[in-house]
Amino acid sequence: MTRTRTGTGAWITAALLAGAAIVAPAAARATAGTSAAFTTFPPSPSPTASPTPCPAIQPPSEQNTPPTAPGTPTDVQVFMTQVILHWAPATDADGIACYQVREVWEGVERVVGSFGGTVAGGSVYLPWPPRGVPSQVHQLYVVAVDTKGAAGPPSGSVSVTIYNDLVDPPSPSASPARVTCRVAVSSSSWWSGMSTSITITNTAETAVSGWRLTFAFPDPGQKVTNGWSATWSQSGTQVTAVNLDWNKTIAPGKSVTVGFLGSHTGANPSPATYSLNGASCAS
């Protein structure tokens, strides 16, 4: 199975881009304590974690002053399970031998990637969530190790969410609530670009808890380049938008609005139908 993801961006940025008729995909970023859940395109090449660039960690001693703490990771990008991050370098009189990207997982600290002491950023890979688990949040931070094996204090942490495309089907005995919905679509097109906003309204008598909006582009040249308020993905002409944690529930009669920027090759017809959790939505 090929997994692809497009990510969120600020809706304000999207509106400005659409108004200026410029389509320039920009990766979602995370700052300390926030979630870097999505990217809008495959990240550019960067140093990849090496398994063994660090010396053996030595216990603290009076003869060896450990390095300073690196800066909190910034410019965080996530593409499937690949995480690209950067940090401000640490300092040490003996020289920095390596940087370790670490996290505390289930109460145990583990190293998820190591980099040589001359770099201050690169790619690490996190595991997919187990089957049936929609997503997992990882708190990543950086530790510098000097040439004598002394490890310094950790940097500030950054939160990264890895999403799972593998969802178990419901049990045959389950009786899911009937979904009825309505969509209102507003779209503008220019040159080779487009901007689309979709409002999804729950017209059922019960709340929707967790949703997946699907539709198909009529033309193969139509592509989603980035999006907001949902996890966006595209396979061929089929497009999927999955809820985020903060907008997963749609109460009866209530709505959520999502949107995306896209590109086309000259033809930009509107999708014929939209479906929410497999149920066709009125428009």
Residue 123 and residue 197 share a domain: no
Q: Is residue 253 part of a domain?
A: yes
Backbone angles phi, psi at 99, to 5 degrees: -120, 140
Q: How far apart are CA 39 and CA 8, in angstroms?
A: 7
Q: Are residues 124 and 230 in the same domain?
A: no
The beta strand positions in 117-254, using DSSP E, are: 121-125, 135-146, 158-163, 181-190, 193-202, 208-209, 212-216, 223-228, 231-235, 238-242, 249-250
In a domain, 193, yes or no: yes
Residues 134 and 225 in one domain: no
Range of the domain at 77: 31-57+65-163
Q: pLDDT tens digits for the chain (283 residues)?
A: 444 444 333 333 343 344 433 333 333 334 344 333 333 334 444 565 555 568 888 877 767 889 999 999 998 888 888 899 999 999 998 899 999 999 988 888 899 989 998 988 989 999 888 877 888 889 999 999 998 889 999 999 998 888 876 555 555 555 555 789 999 999 999 999 999 999 999 999 999 999 999 999 999 999 999 999 999 999 999 999 999 999 999 999 999 999 999 999 999 999 999 999 989 999 8
What was the pLDDT predicted at 105?
A: 84
What global pTM score does this model have? 0.47
Candidates 170, 93, 106; CA nearest to 138 is: 106
Q: In the prediction, which pLDDT does 51 show?
A: 52
Q: What is the pLDDT at residue 171?
A: 55
Q: 159 and 73 in one domain?
A: yes
User: Phi, psi at residue 13, to the nearest 5°?
Assistant: -60, -40
| Domain CATH code at residue 187 | 2.60.40.290
| CA dist., res. 47 & res. 86, Å (int) | 10
Q: Which pair of structure tokens corresponds to residue 99?
A: 């940087």
State how far the Cα of 257 lies from the Cα of 1, in Å rounded to an integer.
Answer: 29
The structural domain count of the chain equals 2
How far apart CA 114 and CA 98 sit, in angstroms, is 7
Q: What letter would DSSP give residue 18?
A: H
- Residue entry with tokens 């990217």: 39
Q: What is the pLDDT of residue 2?
A: 40
Per the domain annotation, does 18 fall within a domain? no
Buried b vs exposed e over 116-137: b needs ≥16 C-beta within 10 Å? ebebbbbbbebebbeeeebebe
Same domain, 186 and 259: yes
Do residues 125 and 191 both lie within one domain? Answer: no
Same domain? 100 vs 152: yes
Domain assignment present for residue 173? The answer is: no
Identify whether 157 is part of a domain.
Answer: yes
Whether 243 maps to a domain, the answer reads yes
